[in-house]
Amino acid sequence: MKLNGALLGKTDQNNLNDGYLGPTQTNYISQYAQYFVKYIKAFAAQGVTVNAITLQNEPLWSSSTYPTMYMYDYEQGQLIQYHIGPALAKAGLSTSIWAYDHNTDVPSYPQNVLNIARQYTSAVSWHCYAGNLDWSFMSDFRNKNPGVTQYMSECWTPPVGASNWFQAANFTIGLLQNWAAGVMAWGLATDASHGPHLPGGCTQCRGLVTINKDGTYTFNIAYYLMAQFSRFMPRSAVVLKGTGSSKNQNAAGIQSVATMNPDKTRTVVIMNTFTNDVYVTLNVTSGQPWSGNVLASSIVTWVLPAT
């Protein structure tokens, strides 16, 4: 597999042009399930806990230049329900299985997976490349599947420019407002050329950190934007329902998201994409209102004391 570049070895049904498990490859399914068991155990032997897996990155995408494997929703559901889920359980592994791992424009895919394999599927994994920043469909998905956790497991952080300065914060705020339990960017670190990546991979996807040729590193703007959330919204924080975000005819405006933290403090992240400062007042259902100036084209984090 490593020598010939094929995901399942060389077969008529599987090559780099359109990797596909296929109906004739059923003899590989048990090996496929055991592959997950073995690599989870191998990581554990090195002191690394694998908390969750998806079966295939972007299962609705095929490429001729890097390994992919097209996988239909019913196939993924059946693989989880009848093979991988039972294999993990038999091995005594508590690793979670997340469905899908692809773009937000096909919510029917994870829904169909859940319809088949809800017993073993604890979460749904989304990517942000469909081009729609209206994340309200995630609230609809949650209403249909209240016990299923949702994550944004990949969204690109491009080189900084006037049009994408707010990219990381934009997809983070909207997702948290619509039941995302966590948000991950493209990658932690890349080199100065936004690599390494395989041929045909993204040439403009930059890590949160750039590793320079001389061994030094640079924190990129997306690093600081994501830190506005991750540093002050700890694990087990609960997102609070909020209203009051606004935009003008140029799509500039104020957006915010707030959490109640385990220590009873409250975190509020406010993004101002106006070209002017805005004086903001937060009215809360319990306790006093809080006010402050949010500078033009900025993101601020307020931590309110426990009530």
Q: What residues are labeled active site?
A: 58, 154
DSSP class of residue 25 equals: G
Structure tokens at 270: 């406010």
**Closest Cα to residue 23, out of 11, 6, 9, 37?**
11
DSSP states of 90-127 as a string?
A: HTT---EEEEEEEETT-THHHHHHHHHHTTTEEEEEEE
∠ CA 186-190-195, nearest 5°, is 95
Measured CA to CA in angstroms, residue 4 lies from 7, 9, 12 at distances of 9, 7, 14
DSSP code string of 135-162: THHHHHHHHH-TT-EEEEEE---PPP-T
For the chain, how big is the Rg over CA atoms in Å?
21
Of 116, 105, 184, 103, the closest CA to residue 151 belongs to: 184
Cα dihedral across residues 179, 161, 254, 136: positive or negative = negative
Backbone angles phi, psi at 77, to 5 degrees: -60, -45
CA distance 202 to 113: 28
Residue pair 207/188 in contact by the 8 Å Cβ criterion: yes
